[in-house]
Amino acid sequence: MTMPLPAPENTEISRPYWDALKLGRLVFQRCECGHAWLPARRGCPSCLGDKVQWEQACGKGRLVSWVVYHTAYHDAFKHRLPYNVAIVELTEGPRLITNMVDSHERLACDAAVELRVESDEGIALARFALSPRRDDEQGTGSPARRNRA
Amino acid sequence: MRARYVVAGIGHTAFGKLPGRDTISLNVEACRNALADAGIDKSVVDAVLIKVPTSAHQFMYGQKVAEALGIKPRMGGAWDQGGAANITLISFAIMAIDAGQCDVALICYADNPRSGNRAVYGRPRGDDAAYGWFSTAAGYAMIQRRHMYEFGTRPEHLGAVAIASRRHGAGNPNAQLRSPLTMEQYLNSALLVEPLRRDDCALVSDGGAAVVVMSAKRARALGVPAPVPVLGFGHGQTSYDVQFRQSLTSTEAVRAARTAFSMAGLKPSDVDVAQLYDCFTITVLMTLEDYGFCSKGQAGDFVADGAIEIGGALPINTSGGLLSETGMPGMQLIMEGVRQVRGSARLQVPNVKVCLVSNQGGTMHTHSTLLLGA
Ligand SMILES: [Zn+2]
């Protein structure tokens, strides 16, 4: 028998995030000052105000970096090796930890990605997939070097 | 403040696997050896500043160690800032002595994750455990991937760092891992969290180390045999965890070094030998860049052809660092810096006037820089 996935802690602060994912929507927090972020916090780390609203992400973003685990630090992942963990920056600004659903060979820093909410062992997770390639864009194999992350 | 304060003594325990040893007894042994090296009695110590054991935080830990040392200090306590804490505590001690708050400070660190509990290094990272986001190594792997992408850094560049530390540690009788490493072995070593290989990662070690800090004047009065002047120090902290950090490829080494070099009135080209925090090989490459030894993105070329090995342009980690001597977070680098300035290192660099030491904590969250010199 394999260990179940470690479930996220559902707190008063984070519940709207996980509830929205169950409905297939990725949400983030935005302050009246304009600053937007994840994960959920009680107040704004930019202006320290507490007028915070939830906003739905458009689902598009950029792959900042990713790693591939060849060792499992938790029994739930032993049978999933090798698996990836990625950092994605949403178009709206917030960054989050995620998994890419594509094969590792296709991944590239700064590639365009889009939301793919998946239910894994009953937990709704915000995963991402590489965006379909457009003809006017460069292939993902040789991304232009940019010092932006 | 430049050169008015000194590291008067250094001491350590055995490194490696020390079953049955608690961290308090390791701290006491290291302090006893540092006091002996300084040639002073514990009765003159009136500050005991301690970096918390990484693997096991304890309430009132600083006071427990001071009690075990039989010292009632004026100032004391435990400080958590990850691996940058040792240099930070040395600079806190110097500022406190300068302000008349204490005279002689012991700074020490001990941990036993190898025979005790190493769970801290593989811990889940917040609510993202459901995505499989575990371990300290994975954060560094994220950074390394980005550095390779932005600057064309290759596995061979990271291998050069591991090879230098392992070469320097190979003949060190205190070192935990004394097998030298070839590039072929490095490139064939197992991937841990890709792109990190096992040989990119610091050892997990038991052990303790301590240094004694006082004014140069006090060291003369006490007859300290080999005091090493502190020329400068500096600090920087990003605070943001890796996934929320706007730039993955620059570090707080920039601010820390700027402050330290400015305080010392020195520049990178004045440095004869460096002990650079090598928790992971990518840390060394980025520290070299952010300290200004080469331009951003050029550290891969800088470390090629043995430049960071004994005999090269800038020898680093001459006792083996975290990759070979002991995985202890930082104190071994300070001790080796002291030996290089004294001229008593096993792999001695000739005519050392300035030795630079870097400490770093978390996943490049915190950084501190120390300049020692004759
Ligand atoms: Zn705000």
Inspect the interface and report whether the beta carbons of B195 and A149 lie closer than 8 Å: no
Burial class (CB within 10 angstroms; exposed 0-12, middle 13-18, buried 19+) of A4: exposed
Residue A10 lies in a domain: no
**Of residues B324, B374, B321, the one with CA closest to residue B350:** B374
- Shared domain for B218 and B189, answered yes or no, is no
Q: Which residues of A touch B130 (CB under 8 A)?
A: 5-8, 120, 123, 125
Residue A84 confidence (pLDDT) above 70:
yes
d(CA B355, CA B348): 12
Tell how far the Cα of A56 is from the centroid of ligand 1, in angstroms: 18
Residue of A nearest to B197 (CA): A70
User: Could you tell me if residue B351 is left (phi over 0), alpha (psi between -120 and 50 degrees) or otherwise beta?
Assistant: left
Inspect the interface and report whether the beta carbons of A87 and B127 lie closer than 8 Å: no
**Of residues B163, B250, B307, B212, the one with CA closest to residue B6:** B212
- Shared domain for B267 and B181, answered yes or no, is yes
Residue A2 confidence (pLDDT) above 80:
no
d(CA B310, CA B158): 17
Inspect the interface and report whether the beta carbons of B130 and A98 lie closer than 8 Å: no
Q: What is the CATH number of the domain that holds B332?
A: 3.40.47.10
**Of residues B84, B4, B1, B69, the one with CA closest to residue B31:** B69
| Domain span including residue B51 | 5-117+205-227
d(CA B69, CA B244): 42
Cα distances (angstroms) measured from residue A26 to each of A97, A124, A127: 13, 10, 10
| Domain span including residue A31 | 15-147
Inspect the interface and report whether the beta carbons of B149 and A145 lie closer than 8 Å: yes
The owner of tokens 């995620």 is A98
- Shared domain for B14 and B102, answered yes or no, is yes
Percent of chain A with pLDDT over 70: 89
Per the structure, the count of domains in chain B is 2
Residue of B nearest to A76 (CA): B132
Report residue B65's pLDDT band, with 50, 70 and 90 as the boundaries.
very high
- Shared domain for B54 and B146, answered yes or no, is no
- Shared domain for B146 and B215, answered yes or no, is no
- Shared domain for B271 and B368, answered yes or no, is yes
Q: Does B194 lie at the interface with A, CB-CB under 8 angstroms?
A: yes
3-class SS string, chain A: CCCCCCCCCCCCCCHHHHHHHHCCCCEEEEECCCCEECCCCCCCCCCCCCCEEEEECCCEEEEEEEEEECCCCCHHHHHHCCEEEEEEEECCCCEEEECECCCHHHCCCCCEEEEEEEEECCEEEEEEEECCCCCCCCCCCCCCCCCCC
Report residue A9's pLDDT band, with 50, 70 and 90 as the boundaries.
confident
- Shared domain for B170 and B263, answered yes or no, is yes
- Shared domain for B302 and B334, answered yes or no, is yes
Residues 6+ away with beta carbon under 8 Å from A20: A26, A27, A54, A56
Residue A6 lies in a domain: no
Residue A1 lies in a domain: no
Residue A146 confidence (pLDDT) above 50:
no
Residue B124 confidence (pLDDT) above 90:
no
Q: What is the mean pLDDT of residues B136-164?
A: 98
Report residue A135's pLDDT band, with 50, 70 and 90 as the boundaries.
low
Q: Which residues of B touch A73 (CB under 8 A)?
A: 122-124, 134-135
Q: Does A13 lie at the interface with B, CB-CB under 8 angstroms?
A: no
Per the structure, the count of domains in chain A is 1
Q: What is the mean pLDDT of residues A25-37?
A: 98
Best of B123, B131, B140, B196 to disrupt the A interface (most A CBs within 10 Å) is B131
| C-alpha torsion angle, residues A132, B145, B243, A2 (rounded to 10) | 80
How close A135 comes to chain B (CA, Å)?
Answer: 23
Report residue A145's pLDDT band, with 50, 70 and 90 as the boundaries.
very low
pLDDT tens-digit profile of B291-306? 999 999 999 999 998 9
Q: Which residues surround ligand 1, an ion (CB under 5 A)?
A: A 31, 33, 35, 44, 46-47, 49
Residue A75 lies in a domain: yes
Token pair for residue A92? 């709206």
Tell how far the Cα of B8 is from the centroid of ligand 1, in angstroms: 49
Report residue B116's pLDDT band, with 50, 70 and 90 as the boundaries.
confident
- Shared domain for B130 and B263, answered yes or no, is yes
Residue of A nearest to B152 (CA): A145
pLDDT tens-digit profile of B266-289? 999 999 999 999 999 999 999 999
d(CA B277, CA B112): 19
Judge if the upstream peptide bond of residue A143 is cis by omega within 30 degrees of 0.
no
- Shared domain for B347 and B315, answered yes or no, is yes
Helices of type H across chain B: 23-38, 61-69, 85-98, 136-151, 155-170, 183-188, 216-222, 253-264, 281-290, 299-303, 321-324, 331-342
Whether the predicted interface score ipTM is above 0.90: yes
Residue A56 lies in a domain: yes
Q: Does B364 lie at the interface with A, CB-CB under 8 angstroms?
A: no
B315, amino acid identity:
P
Residue A19 lies in a domain: yes
> For A95, which of B126, B135, B244 is closest by C-beta distance?
B244
Tell how far the Cα of B147 is from the centroid of ligand 1, in angstroms: 31
Inspect the interface and report whether the beta carbons of B130 and A77 lie closer than 8 Å: no
- Shared domain for B49 and B126, answered yes or no, is no
Q: What is the mean pLDDT of chain B?
A: 96
Residues 6+ away with beta carbon under 8 Å from A14: A8, A39, A40, B127
Helix (H) or strand (E) holding B111: strand B105-111
pLDDT tens-digit profile of B224-272? 999 999 999 999 999 899 999 999 999 999 999 999 999 999 999 999 9
Q: What is the CATH number of the domain that holds A93?
A: 2.40.50.840
Report residue B122's pLDDT band, with 50, 70 and 90 as the boundaries.
confident
- Shared domain for B154 and B251, answered yes or no, is yes
| pTM of the complete model | 0.95
